[in-house]
A and B are shown apart, each in its own frame.
Chain A
Amino acid sequence: MSGKALISTEGLSVGYRVGKGPFSKSVLKAVDNVSIKIEKRSFFGLVGESGSGKTTLGRALLNAAPITSGSARYDDGEVSYNLTDIDKAQLADYRKRAQLIFQDPYAALSPRMTVRDIIAEPLEVMKITSGRAETDERVREIAARCRLNLEHLRRFPHAFSGGQRQRISIARALVARPQFIVADESVAALDVSIQADVLNLLKSLQADMGLTFLFISHDLSVVAHTCDYVAVMYLGRLVETAPTRQLFAAPKHPYTKALFSAIPSLDPDDQGRAQRLEGEIPSPTNQPTGCKFHTRCPHATDLCRSQEPVMEAVQPAHEVACHRWRELA
């Protein structure tokens, strides 16, 4: 990776205390030892199934999940913040630079506020604009970029379809002119055609506004078409990271390969049963020893069951965490 990293994490772990009573000590590690670098102006894809920790990682980068160890840094050239140890004033500024787009377009908008107020809220809360005229100007500008016209601003969310609501959500996230956006399953709840529409909008906004996206999704096909770089997570750990083309052309980790084969292909004659995974995803509270994937991996050995693999470089910028990746080419 040659460019400057906007977000970089080193051994980042996010954990929640679980169990009964306020004195229990067991910790649920939702994210375990993740090190990634998100280049400025890139579209970084984060892929995984349930329990993978991808949503938690996204929230942790926005200071909305408890980081238990490791480090994370935000550096956009103007300011540089240590996200694990950030004071109130820095956090207030960071919030202007990093925002979140939610998954559910129906739950993310307050039904009692007009679209104009919803979009204006970040400006008002973070005191970015002074006075109603300036706020209105900014709202109109971002609404136009998201293809919402003036009429729409006066309406309430119940007047809009899922795709339009998602555009309102996007407008709200972008009105403060942030640098970094976490899009958490932002197209998962949309119909196929609307999904394409919103993805195109996100790409054009990225080009126009110079944004950096962390695109969280469980849908590999969507990630393949939009992202420059993909990281695959399983049960809180990074399993493989690579530039998109490379990952799809030559995946190295058994889980990544299984994920690909599990995607139902549009070609009816391509059955791809060969790589079906058995078993269920283990519960995050009861994680397997050694390599987290060994319980479902068809190639697991004793080494896999006892020792956790570390990320090794297959090629520059392509890393995989598997003891046997060389043999299983």
Chain B
Amino acid sequence: MPSLIDVENLTLKFRTDEGLVTAVENVSFSLQSGEIMGLVGESGSGKSVTAKALMHLNASNSVYGEESRITLHTDGGPVDVLSLKNAADLKVVRGGAISMIFQEPMASFAPSIRIGTQMVEQLQLHSDKSKAQAREIAVEMLDRVGISDPSTRIDQYAFELSGGMRQRAMIAMALSTKPRLLIADEPTTALDVTIQAQVLDLMKDLVKEFGMGIIFITHDLGVVAQTADKVSVMYLGKLIEEGPVREVIRGAKHPYTRGLLAALPRLDDLDAPLTPVPGDIPSPLERPGGCVFNTRCGDVIGDACTATVPLEQWVDPTHRVSCHLYDGKRKSGGA
């Protein structure tokens, strides 16, 4: 399968009153068409910032590293997203090749404009359809995402729909331009669990039908397990583990990933105690030297962890981890 987007050495810092704050450091990954990648991390991990970088959406005080490169493979050839400066070029990327949906559905819809108007506007921006044609496509999309009576709903305002329906409408709007990549930033976190299940099923069906790639950002490992093909775990701006979902969940290599999984209350073992990862996430102003996780890691091995940033090791052809425990020579047993 052809690669859809390649992210190489993405480093992103923000200029703040307190100085240059590192939000993302040396993150690299690739996504194929039809692949769903789960981007997992707690608050402060940098996952949202990474996703926004793909659309060059970060605030004006953001400073990208020199070697950072994001390459989007469109039908018109590869596009270097970070080098795009003016609005016309970015238009191809934003809403066109890449669409984004958010946690709060009201964030996508202007409250005083009907949904239909916004969807039609988006379609006309990214294609040369007439208004009537765009409206037809919009109604079709609303139907496809499971909204009942779409020709009436299209003329409603966002606040007239329930939370689940709004989220579906947002998915419809995001997909109406047939993007090649969909970024979903915590799309189901604010939904009830029964509605969440419906929306996740819908997204999986849509991937099969449209063949796009999805980057699914969430803190919920259960959602990732059910939806994603591969998982990338981020901590304090670094990608510390990535692999096929079964491998990472059943055989996590990085101590942080293992800690996260152990902290989850699991329905299959009601007696297991909840074991939190010790300590607190350091503030981004106080990033630890060496391995970013060393301040909370229970498997620290001597000076290496505090002194040097661990290199990525491929423990399997598709499973990589950044941890000194897996450094070529120092392979500790039972990992």
The total of chain A residues at the interface (CB under 8 A) is 46
Residues of A within 8 A of B137 (CB): none
User: By the criterion CB–CB under 8 Å, are A262 and B197 in contact?
Assistant: yes
Contact indicator A276/B259 (Cβ below 8 Å): no
Q: With an 8 A cutoff between CB atoms, is B198 at the interface?
A: yes
Say whether B303 faces chain A, with CB atoms less than 8 Å apart.
Answer: no
CB distance from B189 to the nearest CB of A (A): 10
Cβ of A125 to closest chain B Cβ, rounded Å:
31
Q: A193-B42, A266-B264 are in contact. Are A258 and B194 (CB under 8 A)?
A: yes
Q: How many angstroms from the CA of A164 to the CA of B198 in the assembled complex?
A: 34
Which stretch in A130-138, A207-215, A267-275 binds the other chain?
A267-275
Return the contact of B265 from the options A50, A194, A224, A269 (Cβ within 8 A): A224
Report the bound CA distance from A222 to B220 in whole Å: 13
B267 adjacent to chain A (CB < 8 Å) = yes
Assess whether A114 is interfacial by the CB under 8 Å rule.
Answer: no
Known: A50-B163, A193-B277. Is A266-B222 also a contact (CB below 8 A)?
yes
**CB 8 Å contact bits of B183-210 with A (1 = contact, 0 = none):** 0000000001111111011000000000
Q: Is the CB of B264 within 8 A of A49?
A: no
Stretch of A27-35, A172-180, A195-203 on the interface side: A195-203
| A252 interface contact, C-beta 8 A | no
How far apart are the CA atoms of A196 and B261 in the complex, in Å?
A: 11
Docked CA distance A200–B222 (Å): 21
- Number of chain B residues whose Cβ lies closer than 8 Å to a Cβ of chain A: 44
Contact indicator per residue, chain A 255-269, by CB within 8 Å of chain B (1) or not (0): 000111111111111
Query: What's the Cα separation between A220 and B190 when bound, in Å?
Result: 16
Partner of B193 from A49, A191, A225, A269 at Cβ < 8 Å: A49
Chain B: CB-nearest residue to A221: B265
Q: Contact between A264 and B260 (Cβ–Cβ < 8 Å)?
A: no
Given A200, A260, A280, which contacts B195 in the complex, CB threshold below 8 Å? A280
- Interface: A318 (CB within 8 A): no
Given the contacts A192-B264, A265-B222, A276 and B276 also touching, CB distance less than 8 Å: no
Indicate if the CB atoms of A196 and B193 lie closer than 8 Å: no
- Inside 8 A of A271's CB, which chain B residues have their CB? 226
Q: How far is the CA of A191 from the CA of B195 in the complex (A)?
A: 21
Which one of A196, A221, A259, A262 lies within 8 Å of B276 (CB-CB)?
A: A196
Residues of A within 8 A of B307 (CB): none
Residue of B nearest to A264 (CB): B222
Cβ proximity bits A146-163 to B, threshold 8 Å, 1 near / 0 not: 000000000000000111
By beta carbon, the residue of chain B nearest A192 is B263
From known contacts A244-B270, A264-B197, A266-B225, infer whether A191 and B219 are also in contact, taking CB-CB under 8 Å.
yes
Query: Contact at B275–A196, with CB atoms within 8 Å?
Result: yes
| A218 close to B (CB within 8 Å) | yes
Task: Say whether A221 contacts B225, CB under 8 Å.
Answer: no
B165 contacts A by Cβ under 8 Å: yes
Is the C-beta of B101 less than 8 angstroms from some C-beta in chain A?
no
Residue pair B264, A221 in contact (C-beta under 8 Å):
yes
Decide yes or no: A281 and B280 within 8 Å by CB, A191-B42, A192-B42, A264-B226 being known contacts.
no
A258 to B195, CA, bound (A): 11
A17 beta carbon closer than 8 Å to chain B: no
Q: How far is the CA of A226 from the CA of B260 in the complex (A)?
A: 18
B62-77 interface with A by 8 A CB criterion: none
**Chain B residues closer than 8 Å to A311, beta-carbon distance:** none
Contact B194 A277 (CB under 8 A): yes
B95 an interface residue at 8 Å Cβ cutoff?
no
- Contacting residues, chain B, for A281 (C-beta < 8 A): 162, 192, 194-195
Q: Does A248 contact B (CB under 8 A)?
A: yes
How many angstroms between the C-alpha atoms of A193 and B276 in the bound complex?
5
Known: A244-B270, A281-B192. A196 touches B263 (CB 8 A): yes
Chain A residue nearest to B277 in the complex (CB):
A193
**Pair B280/A268 contact, Cβ less than 8 Å:** no
CB distance from B227 to the nearest CB of A (A): 8
A127 at the interface (CB under 8 A from B): no
Interface centre among B266, B272, B280 (most CB of A within 10 A): B280
Instruction: Say whether B245 faces chain A, with CB atoms less than 8 Å apart.
Output: yes
Is B249 close to A, CB under 8 A?
yes
* Residue B223 CB within 8 A of the other chain: yes
A245 at the interface (CB under 8 A from B): yes
**Cβ distance A201 to chain B, nearest Cβ, rounded Å:** 10
Cβ contact within 8 Å between B266 and A218: no
Most A CB atoms within 10 A — which of B162, B193, B266, B267?
Answer: B193
* Complex Cα spacing A261 to B193, Å: 10
Task: For residue A157, give the distance in angstroms from its CB to the closest CB of chain B.
Answer: 15
Contacts of B260 in A (CB 8 A): 192-193
- A192-B221 in contact (CB<8A): yes
A161 x B264 contact (CB < 8 A): no
Q: Give chain B interface residues in 135-165, CB to chain A under 8 Å.
A: 162-165
Kindly state the separation between the CA atoms of A113 and B34 in the bound complex, as whole angstroms: 52
Let me know if B3 is at the binding interface, CB within 8 A. Answer: no
Which of B194, B249, B270 contacts A224 (CB under 8 A)? B270
Report 11 cross-chain contacts, Cβ distance below 8 Å, ordered by A residue.
A164-B280, A192-B263, A192-B264, A224-B267, A226-B265, A262-B193, A264-B196, A265-B225, A269-B246, A281-B192, A281-B194
Interface residues of A (CB under 8 A from B): 49-50, 161-164, 191-197, 199-200, 218-222, 224-226, 244-245, 248, 258-269, 271, 273, 276-278, 280-281, 283
Query: Which 6 A-B pairs give the minimum distances between C-beta atoms?
Result: A264-B222, A49-B192, A196-B274, A196-B276, A197-B276, A262-B197
